[in-house]
Amino acid sequence: MEDGLKREFPPGNLRNIGIMAHIDAGKTTVSERMLFFTGKTHRLGEVHDGRAVMDWMDQEQERGITITSAATTFVWRGHMVNLIDTPGHVDFTVEVERSLRILDGAVALFCAAGGVQPQSETVWRQAEKYSVPRIAFVNKMDRLGADFYGVVRAIRGELGANAVPVVIPIGHEDSFRGIVDLVKGCAVYYSREDSGLTWREEPVPAEMIPDYERWRSSLVEHASEVDEHLFDKFFAGEEITGEELTAALRKATRAGTICPVLCGSAYRNIGVQRLLDALVDYLPCPSDLPPVEGRGPGGSVEERRPDDDETMSALAFKVVTDRHVGKLVYVRVYSGSLQAGSNVYNSTKDCMQRAGRILRMHADKRENIDALFTGEIGAVIGLSETSTGDTLCIRENPLILHSMDFSTPVLSMAVAPGRVSDRERLAEALSKLADEDPTFTVAMDSDTSETIISGMGELHLEILVERLKREFALDVATSAPRVAYRETITTPVEIDERLVKQTGGRGQFAHIVMRLEPLASRHGFEFENRVQGGSIPREYIPSVEKGIADAMERGALADHPVIGVRAILLDGSFHEVDSSDMAFRRCASEGFRRAFMKAGPQLLEPLMDVTVTTPEEYSGPVAGTVYSKRGGITSMGRQSNAQVLRALIPLAELFGYATELRNISQGRASFTMRFERYEPVPAQVSEIILKELQSRSRTRS
């Protein structure tokens, strides 16, 4: 660490946490209360009136939903908390994915009436993928149908988590008025006169003592499983203090063996202070974590300890285009320190860059700071070449940290500028949006010269088009959304491809023998080189792989990308003079397209995991809609007073589904969906789709 640079909070007093949930569980309301109760803000921001600090985008305030993850920092009990509020809508799940990659803990929010909902499960699995410890908060305990214990059972049953209450509610629905703290052994009531800023602790009400004793005994029993001292005291029947129980719960939460559960009503300012306490008491600090691993030179595994005196390493997890300062790169520092004005090495891109200003973010507001230390999160200005997932480090001691996986876009549309003169501005704006969002892609249709944008759903594309109009002042025209199909093969094929061109001067020569095989996963691409004896020089092998990749970007069946193929280069030949990288690249591309059409080409469509929530009296007609859309029901169950139906349905059949559901249920049924996988289109349907695609292509040309 450089002389004169000091961190404000020691690593043990730092928490990096996120809030994740299904849409409408109350994430932003909880975040706003945290900011208010910690003194970060001085008024209560509300989602319903467009005053929420964390939902700062115009579209978020107008729609009452979170679209982009927002970062802020506050202090509670002498601890600095970096908080990221993530979206609940499935179209913006990329924000959850990249946030969880760099967080040390998370709050999983559940609606007391809704329980475990589809996106609740999705974000829970995302947190499991990155081994992020979680605590749960059952919100909206004042809502009709609130059932705290039912939600606890659902977390255990549907998510497989060891959910253990650390508080229990006093009342529910209209009678909800406080909580019983099982750790401290007291009842907590929040003042209505000062919006919950103050509270009083009283003895547990007499009528709740049996429940208190039962649930506290269960809590102690679960906590003692990870603490030998507590275990001995528990079975000896000795009194266990709140401090002992807190220490054991922290250990168990960090290990992932327990998920502490709290409850409250953020809107009524009940229980949020106890949640803040739980962040500090149970979730890990950066120094609790093991060394971060990455890939060093030559593919070796390298480690960096979470220590300010270690060599600097940081991960870029988010990119934002700011109208005032330009490109903002959000980073998490895993070791060492990142100073303003320092030169850093982007090991992913193999380039040096200068970190200009460093900012501590508060939603769309910012504060200049001198440096980011181990475990801290901030934004950097000046990293023009850095993208989401890139590693920043020291050139003399490089490594590449593990990045993130992002979902495949499933919906596309054509976009064009209202004025021809805006074509370059549109291209620049789309490039910036694609830089921000790894699930948003931009491509050019070479036949029609159309610009094709692709994303995760109708809402995702709608928001992006709105941003083009508002942020970039572009008048744009769009086509109707269309499904992003994929192509694959079904049978192995071997091909012998030659490229021989002689047009005066130096010619072009390349010869490859290649085998294509379908991958069982119907996903990705694999390339294998089996050439022996130097029949193709080693320097041309990468060109063959690039040529195949070129052809796969636009398949031969219906011009959609190809997936699920293994290409094996078996043999070939070359010419001492006429062979080149370009010749082998072109030969491989043409050979792949020819082989593809002989390998049983097949059209694939995105299959969506759809969850429909409907009053029971409409469950029959709703089930009928599933079957009419080439779908299949995977499960049915009850949630509160509603029927929950889960099904797999092709995306192509889901346009206008929301309107259809509203019509058959008098507006009472709703649905959510997420991408599940690509599946073959049935032959009779494929024939119709291919004819439509070919007709559309002829019309445009």
**Are 7 and 373 in contact, with CB atoms under 8 Å apart?**
yes
What is the pLDDT, as a whole number, of residue 448? 66
Q: Within 10 A of 439 (CB to CB), how many other CB atoms are there?
A: 22
What is the pLDDT, as a whole number, of residue 447? 61
> What H or E segment, with its residue span, contains residue 137?
strand 134-139
- Reduced to 3 states (helix: H, G, I; strand: E, B; else coil), residue 261 is strand
Residues paired with residue 453 on neighbouring β-strands, in sequence order? 413, 442
How far, in Å, CA of 64 to CA of 71, rounded? 18
How far, in Å, CA of 222 to CA of 255, rounded? 13
How far, in Å, CA of 224 to CA of 3, rounded? 45
**Are 347 and 391 in contact, with CB atoms under 8 Å apart?**
yes
Residues 6+ apart with CB under 8 A from 381: 325, 326, 327, 328, 329, 355, 356, 357, 358, 359
Q: How far is CA 16 from CA 32, 136, 280, 445, 561, in A?
A: 17, 16, 10, 43, 39
**Are 210 and 216 in contact, with CB atoms under 8 Å apart?**
no
Sheet with strand 565-573: strands edge to edge: 493-501, 508-518, 565-573, 525-529
What is the pLDDT, as a whole number, of residue 182? 96
What is the pLDDT, as a whole number, of residue 61? 45
Q: How far is CA 668 from CA 143, 222, 337, in A?
A: 18, 41, 53
What are the tens digits of pLDDT across the range 330-346?
999 999 999 999 999 99
**Are 581 and 589 in contact, with CB atoms under 8 Å apart?**
no
Q: Within 10 A of 305 (CB to CB), how many other CB atoms are there?
A: 17
The torsion of the CA quartet 30, 34, 40, 42, rounded to 10 degrees, works out to 70
**The two three-digit tokens of residue 248, written as one number:** 């054991």
**Are 601 and 547 in contact, with CB atoms under 8 Å apart?**
no
- Reduced to 3 states (helix: H, G, I; strand: E, B; else coil), residue 606 is strand
**Are 566 and 514 in contact, with CB atoms under 8 Å apart?**
no
What is the pLDDT, as a whole number, of residue 170? 95
What is the pLDDT, as a whole number, of residue 503? 66
- Reduced to 3 states (helix: H, G, I; strand: E, B; else coil), residue 465 is helix
What are the tens digits of pLDDT across the range 502-549?
766 678 999 999 999 999 888 889 999 999 988 999 999 999 999 999
**Which residue type, as a one-letter code, is found at position 83?**
L
What are the tens digits of pLDDT across the range 67-88?
455 678 899 999 999 988 776 5
How far, in Å, CA of 204 to CA of 281, rounded? 22
**Are 273 and 37 in contact, with CB atoms under 8 Å apart?**
yes
What is the pLDDT, as a whole number, of residue 482? 86
Pick out the chain residues at pLDDT < 70. Answer: 1-4, 44-70, 87-93, 363-364, 446-448, 503-505, 640-641, 693-701
How far, in Å, CA of 176 to CA of 193, rounded? 17
How far, in Å, CA of 94 to CA of 453, rounded? 17
How far, in Å, CA of 83 to CA of 92, rounded? 18
Note the pTM of the prediction, 2 decimals. Answer: 0.75
Q: Within 10 A of 587 (CB to CB), how many other CB atoms are there?
A: 26
Backbone angles phi, psi at 111, to 5 degrees: -75, 130
